[in-house]
Amino acid sequence: SDSGAAVVDESVETIDGRHIEVAANVGQPAELEPAAQRGADGVGLYRTEFLFLDRETPPSEDEQYEAIREALDTFPDGRVVVRTLDIGGDKRIPYLDLPEEENPFLGERGIRRSLDPDSDLFATQLRALLRAAADGAGDLAIMFPLVDTVEELDAALEALDTAAADVECHDADAVDIEVGVMIETPSAAFMADELAARVDFLSIGTNDLTQYVMAADRENERVGDLHDPTHPGVLRSIHQTVTAAHAEDAWVGMCGEMAGDPDLTELLVGLGLDELSMSAVTVPEVKTAVSETEYSTASERGDRARLAATRSKVHTTLDT
Ligand code: PYR
Protein backbone atom coordinates (compact mmCIF):
# COMPACT_ATOMS: atom_id res chain seq x y z
CA SER A 1 0.00 0.00 0.00
CA ASP A 2 1.80 3.06 -1.29
CA SER A 3 0.79 6.28 0.41
CA GLY A 4 0.48 9.47 -1.56
CA ALA A 5 2.99 11.36 0.60
CA ALA A 6 6.17 12.51 -1.15
CA VAL A 7 9.45 11.01 0.00
CA VAL A 8 11.37 13.33 2.34
CA ASP A 9 15.09 12.57 2.21
CA GLU A 10 16.29 15.11 4.75
CA SER A 11 15.86 14.68 8.50
CA VAL A 12 12.78 16.46 9.84
CA GLU A 13 11.90 18.82 12.63
CA THR A 14 8.72 20.32 13.98
CA ILE A 15 7.61 23.86 12.99
CA ASP A 16 9.30 25.11 16.16
CA GLY A 17 12.56 23.25 15.53
CA ARG A 18 12.45 20.01 17.52
CA HIS A 19 14.28 17.28 15.60
CA ILE A 20 12.50 13.93 15.40
CA GLU A 21 14.35 10.95 14.00
CA VAL A 22 12.09 8.96 11.64
CA ALA A 23 13.40 5.46 11.07
CA ALA A 24 12.21 2.16 9.62
CA ASN A 25 11.44 -1.21 11.17
CA VAL A 26 13.19 -3.87 9.10
CA GLY A 27 12.83 -7.65 9.35
CA GLN A 28 14.71 -8.85 6.25
CA PRO A 29 17.81 -7.69 4.34
CA ALA A 30 15.59 -7.18 1.27
CA GLU A 31 13.76 -4.42 3.16
CA LEU A 32 16.89 -2.32 3.79
CA GLU A 33 17.23 -0.60 0.42
CA PRO A 34 13.47 0.15 0.08
CA ALA A 35 13.57 1.70 3.57
CA ALA A 36 16.41 4.00 2.48
CA GLN A 37 14.45 4.88 -0.67
CA ARG A 38 11.40 5.82 1.40
CA GLY A 39 13.54 8.39 3.20
CA ALA A 40 14.12 6.61 6.52
CA ASP A 41 16.85 8.34 8.54
CA GLY A 42 18.05 4.92 9.66
CA VAL A 43 16.72 1.67 11.07
CA GLY A 44 14.96 1.98 14.43
CA LEU A 45 14.32 -1.73 14.78
CA TYR A 46 16.31 -4.37 12.91
CA ARG A 47 14.76 -7.68 13.88
CA THR A 48 17.38 -10.43 13.75
CA GLU A 49 15.05 -13.44 13.83
CA PHE A 50 15.30 -13.83 10.01
CA LEU A 51 18.89 -15.00 10.50
CA PHE A 52 17.66 -17.98 12.52
CA LEU A 53 14.55 -18.99 10.56
CA ASP A 54 14.13 -21.47 7.68
CA ARG A 55 17.29 -23.42 8.41
CA GLU A 56 18.53 -26.40 10.41
CA THR A 57 21.27 -24.88 12.56
CA PRO A 58 22.00 -21.43 14.02
CA PRO A 59 23.86 -18.93 11.80
CA SER A 60 27.59 -18.61 12.32
CA GLU A 61 29.17 -15.48 13.77
CA ASP A 62 30.48 -14.59 10.30
CA GLU A 63 27.04 -14.90 8.69
CA GLN A 64 25.60 -12.60 11.31
CA TYR A 65 28.50 -10.18 10.87
CA GLU A 66 27.85 -9.98 7.11
CA ALA A 67 24.13 -9.34 7.59
CA ILE A 68 24.67 -6.52 10.06
CA ARG A 69 27.41 -5.00 7.92
CA GLU A 70 24.99 -4.87 5.01
CA ALA A 71 22.55 -2.90 7.15
CA LEU A 72 25.24 -0.49 8.36
CA ASP A 73 26.51 0.03 4.83
CA THR A 74 22.98 0.77 3.56
CA PHE A 75 22.70 3.67 6.03
CA PRO A 76 26.22 5.18 5.99
CA ASP A 77 25.01 8.44 7.57
CA GLY A 78 22.39 6.89 9.82
CA ARG A 79 21.92 4.75 12.86
CA VAL A 80 20.89 1.09 12.73
CA VAL A 81 19.29 -0.18 15.94
CA VAL A 82 19.66 -3.95 16.05
CA ARG A 83 17.46 -5.91 18.41
CA THR A 84 19.12 -9.01 19.78
CA LEU A 85 17.35 -12.31 19.12
CA ASP A 86 13.75 -12.12 20.30
CA ILE A 87 12.26 -15.61 20.34
CA GLY A 88 9.69 -17.26 22.54
CA GLY A 89 6.08 -16.13 22.68
CA ASP A 90 4.68 -16.81 19.20
CA LYS A 91 8.16 -16.99 17.64
CA ARG A 92 9.61 -20.47 17.70
CA ILE A 93 12.71 -21.93 16.07
CA PRO A 94 12.46 -25.72 15.63
CA TYR A 95 16.16 -26.65 15.86
CA LEU A 96 16.58 -24.79 19.17
CA ASP A 97 14.29 -27.34 20.78
CA LEU A 98 12.78 -24.91 23.25
CA PRO A 99 10.50 -26.32 25.93
CA GLU A 100 6.73 -26.06 25.49
CA GLU A 101 5.28 -23.44 27.79
CA GLU A 102 1.72 -23.28 29.10
CA ASN A 103 1.67 -19.52 28.68
CA PRO A 104 4.41 -18.54 26.21
CA PHE A 105 3.70 -14.80 26.26
CA LEU A 106 4.39 -14.88 29.99
CA GLY A 107 7.26 -17.27 29.54
CA GLU A 108 10.89 -17.31 28.51
CA ARG A 109 10.80 -14.67 25.79
CA GLY A 110 13.34 -12.12 24.56
CA ILE A 111 16.27 -11.34 26.86
CA ARG A 112 15.10 -14.03 29.29
CA ARG A 113 15.98 -16.63 26.67
CA SER A 114 19.23 -14.93 25.65
CA LEU A 115 20.49 -15.02 29.23
CA ASP A 116 20.13 -18.81 29.39
CA PRO A 117 23.57 -19.86 30.70
CA ASP A 118 23.45 -23.11 28.71
CA SER A 119 23.39 -21.34 25.35
CA ASP A 120 26.10 -19.44 23.51
CA LEU A 121 23.71 -17.89 20.95
CA PHE A 122 23.74 -14.52 22.70
CA ALA A 123 27.54 -14.32 23.00
CA THR A 124 27.94 -15.24 19.33
CA GLN A 125 25.43 -12.62 18.26
CA LEU A 126 27.05 -9.91 20.37
CA ARG A 127 30.50 -10.64 18.94
CA ALA A 128 29.10 -10.45 15.40
CA LEU A 129 27.42 -7.13 16.17
CA LEU A 130 30.54 -5.59 17.67
CA ARG A 131 32.71 -6.67 14.74
CA ALA A 132 30.17 -5.25 12.29
CA ALA A 133 30.08 -1.99 14.25
CA ALA A 134 33.85 -1.67 14.00
CA ASP A 135 33.84 -2.19 10.21
CA GLY A 136 30.46 -0.92 8.97
CA ALA A 137 29.69 2.55 7.62
CA GLY A 138 26.67 3.54 9.72
CA ASP A 139 26.38 3.76 13.50
CA LEU A 140 25.32 0.59 15.27
CA ALA A 141 23.06 0.60 18.29
CA ILE A 142 22.17 -2.61 20.13
CA MET A 143 18.94 -3.08 22.02
CA PHE A 144 17.72 -5.84 24.28
CA PRO A 145 14.10 -7.06 24.03
CA LEU A 146 11.63 -7.71 26.83
CA VAL A 147 13.84 -6.50 29.65
CA ASP A 148 11.86 -6.48 32.91
CA THR A 149 14.50 -5.88 35.56
CA VAL A 150 17.78 -4.11 36.25
CA GLU A 151 19.28 -7.52 37.01
CA GLU A 152 18.55 -8.67 33.45
CA LEU A 153 19.99 -5.50 31.99
CA ASP A 154 23.13 -5.78 34.12
CA ALA A 155 23.58 -9.38 32.96
CA ALA A 156 23.11 -8.37 29.31
CA LEU A 157 25.61 -5.52 29.67
CA GLU A 158 28.08 -7.90 31.26
CA ALA A 159 27.68 -10.27 28.31
CA LEU A 160 28.31 -7.31 26.00
CA ASP A 161 31.50 -6.41 27.90
CA THR A 162 32.70 -9.99 27.63
CA ALA A 163 31.98 -10.02 23.90
CA ALA A 164 33.81 -6.71 23.46
CA ALA A 165 36.86 -8.09 25.25
CA ASP A 166 36.78 -11.19 23.01
CA VAL A 167 36.44 -9.15 19.84
CA GLU A 168 39.22 -6.77 20.77
CA CYS A 169 41.59 -9.73 21.14
CA HIS A 170 40.97 -10.49 17.48
CA ASP A 171 40.53 -7.07 15.93
CA ALA A 172 41.99 -4.43 18.21
CA ASP A 173 39.42 -1.93 16.89
CA ALA A 174 37.73 -0.02 19.64
CA VAL A 175 33.98 -0.08 19.13
CA ASP A 176 31.84 2.86 20.08
CA ILE A 177 28.18 1.91 20.03
CA GLU A 178 24.97 2.97 21.69
CA VAL A 179 23.13 0.48 23.87
CA GLY A 180 19.43 0.52 24.67
CA VAL A 181 16.55 -1.33 26.24
CA MET A 182 13.12 -2.02 24.84
CA ILE A 183 10.30 -0.94 27.09
CA GLU A 184 7.61 -3.56 26.59
CA THR A 185 6.44 -4.52 30.07
CA PRO A 186 4.88 -2.59 32.95
CA SER A 187 7.92 -3.38 35.10
CA ALA A 188 10.24 -1.86 32.51
CA ALA A 189 8.10 1.29 32.32
CA PHE A 190 8.05 1.62 36.12
CA MET A 191 11.82 0.99 36.25
CA ALA A 192 12.62 3.28 33.30
CA ASP A 193 14.71 5.63 35.46
CA GLU A 194 17.02 2.85 36.65
CA LEU A 195 17.20 1.26 33.20
CA ALA A 196 17.87 4.59 31.46
CA ALA A 197 20.65 5.41 33.94
CA ARG A 198 22.54 2.37 32.59
CA VAL A 199 22.10 2.84 28.83
CA ASP A 200 21.98 5.42 26.03
CA PHE A 201 18.38 4.99 24.95
CA LEU A 202 15.03 3.30 25.51
CA SER A 203 12.75 2.13 22.71
CA ILE A 204 9.09 1.56 23.45
CA GLY A 205 7.56 -1.49 21.78
CA THR A 206 3.92 -0.48 21.90
CA ASN A 207 2.53 -3.78 20.63
CA ASP A 208 3.84 -5.70 23.61
CA LEU A 209 3.59 -2.79 26.02
CA THR A 210 -0.12 -2.41 25.21
CA GLN A 211 -0.68 -6.14 25.48
CA TYR A 212 0.94 -6.30 28.91
CA VAL A 213 -0.28 -2.99 30.36
CA MET A 214 -3.86 -3.78 29.35
CA ALA A 215 -3.54 -7.56 29.90
CA ALA A 216 -5.22 -8.02 26.52
CA ASP A 217 -4.05 -10.54 23.91
CA ARG A 218 -3.46 -8.70 20.66
CA GLU A 219 -4.78 -11.64 18.63
CA ASN A 220 -8.04 -11.98 20.56
CA GLU A 221 -10.82 -9.95 18.96
CA ARG A 222 -12.99 -10.26 22.05
CA VAL A 223 -10.56 -7.95 23.86
CA GLY A 224 -9.65 -5.91 20.79
CA ASP A 225 -11.01 -2.69 22.29
CA LEU A 226 -8.60 -3.07 25.19
CA HIS A 227 -5.64 -3.71 22.90
CA ASP A 228 -5.39 -0.05 21.90
CA PRO A 229 -2.35 2.11 22.69
CA THR A 230 -4.50 5.23 22.99
CA HIS A 231 -5.95 4.05 26.29
CA PRO A 232 -4.79 6.58 28.89
CA GLY A 233 -3.18 3.75 30.90
CA VAL A 234 -0.81 3.10 27.99
CA LEU A 235 -0.24 6.82 27.33
CA ARG A 236 0.73 7.28 30.98
CA SER A 237 3.21 4.40 30.78
CA ILE A 238 4.74 6.04 27.68
CA HIS A 239 4.91 9.43 29.39
CA GLN A 240 6.47 7.91 32.50
CA THR A 241 9.11 6.20 30.34
CA VAL A 242 9.97 9.35 28.38
CA THR A 243 10.17 11.56 31.48
CA ALA A 244 12.38 9.08 33.34
CA ALA A 245 14.70 8.62 30.35
CA HIS A 246 15.11 12.32 29.68
CA ALA A 247 16.00 12.91 33.32
CA GLU A 248 18.90 10.49 32.72
CA ASP A 249 19.86 12.11 29.38
CA ALA A 250 18.77 9.02 27.46
CA TRP A 251 16.82 9.40 24.23
CA VAL A 252 13.56 7.56 23.68
CA GLY A 253 12.26 5.92 20.54
CA MET A 254 9.12 4.02 19.72
CA CYS A 255 9.08 1.03 17.37
CA GLY A 256 5.61 -0.46 17.84
CA GLU A 257 2.82 -0.03 15.29
CA MET A 258 1.59 3.11 17.05
CA ALA A 259 4.69 4.96 15.78
CA GLY A 260 3.63 4.48 12.16
CA ASP A 261 0.16 6.03 12.46
CA PRO A 262 0.41 9.60 11.11
CA ASP A 263 -2.82 10.49 12.96
CA LEU A 264 -0.90 9.88 16.21
CA THR A 265 2.35 11.65 15.26
CA GLU A 266 1.39 14.91 16.98
CA LEU A 267 0.47 13.01 20.16
CA LEU A 268 3.78 11.11 20.18
CA VAL A 269 5.85 14.23 19.51
CA GLY A 270 3.87 15.87 22.30
CA LEU A 271 4.64 13.00 24.68
CA GLY A 272 8.33 13.73 24.06
CA LEU A 273 9.46 10.87 21.83
CA ASP A 274 12.79 11.61 20.12
CA GLU A 275 12.59 8.90 17.47
CA LEU A 276 9.74 7.08 15.72
CA SER A 277 10.36 3.84 13.84
CA MET A 278 7.80 2.15 11.62
CA SER A 279 7.29 0.04 8.53
CA ALA A 280 8.98 1.84 5.65
CA VAL A 281 5.76 2.55 3.74
CA THR A 282 4.56 5.10 6.30
CA VAL A 283 7.91 6.92 6.72
CA PRO A 284 7.02 9.69 4.22
CA GLU A 285 3.62 10.35 5.83
CA VAL A 286 5.07 10.48 9.34
CA LYS A 287 7.92 12.77 8.23
CA THR A 288 5.33 15.11 6.72
CA ALA A 289 3.23 14.94 9.90
CA VAL A 290 6.28 15.84 12.03
CA SER A 291 7.06 18.86 9.85
CA GLU A 292 3.44 20.07 10.25
CA THR A 293 3.48 19.70 14.05
CA GLU A 294 4.18 22.48 16.51
CA TYR A 295 5.94 20.96 19.50
CA SER A 296 4.58 23.45 22.04
CA THR A 297 0.98 22.77 21.00
CA ALA A 298 1.61 19.04 20.75
CA SER A 299 3.10 18.96 24.22
CA GLU A 300 0.05 20.66 25.72
CA ARG A 301 -2.23 18.30 23.83
CA GLY A 302 -0.14 15.30 24.91
CA ASP A 303 -0.60 16.34 28.54
CA ARG A 304 -4.36 16.64 28.10
CA ALA A 305 -4.53 13.28 26.33
CA ARG A 306 -2.61 11.34 28.97
CA LEU A 307 -4.52 13.00 31.79
CA ALA A 308 -7.89 12.11 30.24
CA ALA A 309 -9.94 9.54 32.12
CA THR A 310 -11.12 7.49 29.15
CA ARG A 311 -10.03 6.50 25.68
CA SER A 312 -12.90 8.43 24.17
CA LYS A 313 -11.78 11.59 26.00
CA VAL A 314 -8.25 10.97 24.68
CA HIS A 315 -9.66 10.92 21.17
CA THR A 316 -11.63 14.11 21.81
CA THR A 317 -8.41 15.91 22.75
CA LEU A 318 -6.72 14.60 19.58
CA ASP A 319 -9.54 15.83 17.35
CA THR A 320 -9.79 19.39 18.69
C1 PYR B 1 6.52 -4.29 19.97
O2 PYR B 1 5.86 -3.28 19.70
O3 PYR B 1 6.22 -5.02 20.90
C4 PYR B 1 7.68 -4.61 19.18
O5 PYR B 1 8.37 -5.56 19.46
C6 PYR B 1 8.01 -3.75 18.08
- 16-43, pLDDT tens digit by residue? 999 999 999 999 999 999 999 999 999 9
pLDDT digits (tens, 9 = 90+) for 292-317: 999 999 999 999 999 999 999 999 99
Residue 205, ligand 1, Cβ within 6 A:
yes
pLDDT digits (tens, 9 = 90+) for 226-245: 999 999 999 999 999 999 99
Residue 256, ligand 1, Cβ within 6 A:
yes
At residue 2 the predicted structure's pLDDT band, cuts being 50, 70 and 90, is low
**Is 17 in a helix, a strand, or coil?**
coil
Q: Tell me, what DSSP letter sits at residue 82?
A: E
The whole-angstrom separation of Cα 170 and Cα 236 is 46
At residue 56 the predicted structure's pLDDT band, cuts being 50, 70 and 90, is very high
In order, the DSSP letters of 156-210 are: HHHHHHHHHHHHHHHH------EEEEEE-SHHHHHTHHHHHHHSSEEEE-HHHHH
Percent of the chain with pLDDT over 90: 86
Given the CA of residue 208, which atom of ligand 1 is nearest to it? Answer: 3
Distance 234 CA to ligand 1 centre (A): 14
pLDDT digits (tens, 9 = 90+) for 147-200: 999 999 999 999 999 999 998 755 545 567 999 999 999 999 999 999 999 999
What is the enclosing helix (H) or strand (E) of 24? strand 19-26
Quote the distance between the C-alpha of residue 173 and its chain's center: 27
ipTM value greater than 0.95: no
Note the pLDDT of residue 128. Answer: 97
Note the pLDDT of residue 308. Answer: 98
**Is 111 in a helix, a strand, or coil?**
helix
